[in-house]
Every structure is written in C-alpha cells, then in structure tokens.
C-alpha cells in the first residue's frame, strides 16, 4: 500500500465464506457478509451478503449483491512465502478513508487479486488522505 498506511485487523467469521471451484469452469467463488458498504471499481455495494467469483487467472472478479453487480479487472497476486505456510486462505483487504471503504485485494483459497484504485480513491489520496487497511478473514464452511 502507498504511503504510511496504518492497519486495522478485523477478524470476522463471515456467513458462508468459502472458496469453491465452479463446475469445470476453473473459477473460484465465495459468499461473504460484508459489515459495511464499499466501492469496487466504479460500483458501490451495500453492506450485507455478496458473492465473489474469480476467474482461473485471478485477473477478473465478479461481484454481486442484492442491488448491485460488477466485473472488475485486477492484477494477479502470488504468495511468496514459506510454501504457503502463512498464505492467506480466503480474505479481503479494504482501504478505509474515514467512513469510505474500497476493495483492494481478494484472496480465495490462496489465489489473490489486487484491484485497481477507483477514481474516488485516487481523488482521496491526492487530497492527502491516508488509508487504513481493513482485513476481513473469511471463515470457511
């Protein structure tokens, strides 16, 4: 993350969070209850249940909520560590500026993706706002 960013760890056992390959499609998916509204790409999502599906290359993420859906592009992240000993299983990282949350990374079963910053997030950064990182660790079923 850019600048001196504080981090806030939010451990949440999210409802129905799981990484499951879709039948024969090479996709990973999970459902999660997000406790705050957030922005991903150019779409805003309400708090509550969302579904996330990542393609096999971890470069496209589909997000659906009751009133919103989008597909966002991202950069594949690879875990570089001690043979996945400390690799994230399933988690999400958000950048928080005040009461605004922006989805930054998604990890589903050790496959990670970093999302591009939205225009609003870039505007906040240019204005000198510092992000706090909020991590949601997902509890598998």
For CA atoms 123, 41, 117, 15, the dihedral sign is positive
Pick out the chain residues at pLDDT < 50: 1-24, 81-84, 141
* Parallel/antiparallel/unpaired status of strands 20-21 and 111-115: unpaired
Q: What pLDDT is attached to residue 36?
A: 95
What is the rounded CA–CA span in Å between residue 104 and residue 8?
14
Neighbours of 115 (CB within 10 A): 22
pLDDT at 87: 53
Tokens of 11: 């451990």
pLDDT of 75 reads 72
120 three-state secondary structure: helix
pLDDT at position 1 is 44
């Amino acid at each position: 993350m850019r600048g001196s960013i504080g981090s806030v760890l939010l451990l949440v056992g999210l409802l129905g969070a799981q990484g499951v390959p879709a039948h024969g499609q090479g996709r990973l998916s999970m459902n999660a209850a997000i406790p705050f509204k957030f922005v991903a790409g150019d779409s805003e999502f309400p708090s509550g249940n969302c579904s996330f599906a990542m393609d096999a290359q971890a470069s496209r993420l589909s997000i659906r909520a009751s009133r919103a859906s989008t597909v966002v592009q991202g950069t594949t992240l690879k875990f570089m560590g001690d043979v996945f000993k400390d690799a994230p299983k399933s988690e999400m990282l958000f950048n928080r500026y005040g009461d605004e949350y922006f989805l930054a990374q998604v990890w589903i079963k050790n496959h990670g993706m970093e999302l591009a910053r939205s225009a609003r997030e870039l505007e906040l950064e240019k204005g000198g706002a510092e992000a706090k990182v909020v991590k949601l660790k997902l509890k598998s079923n």
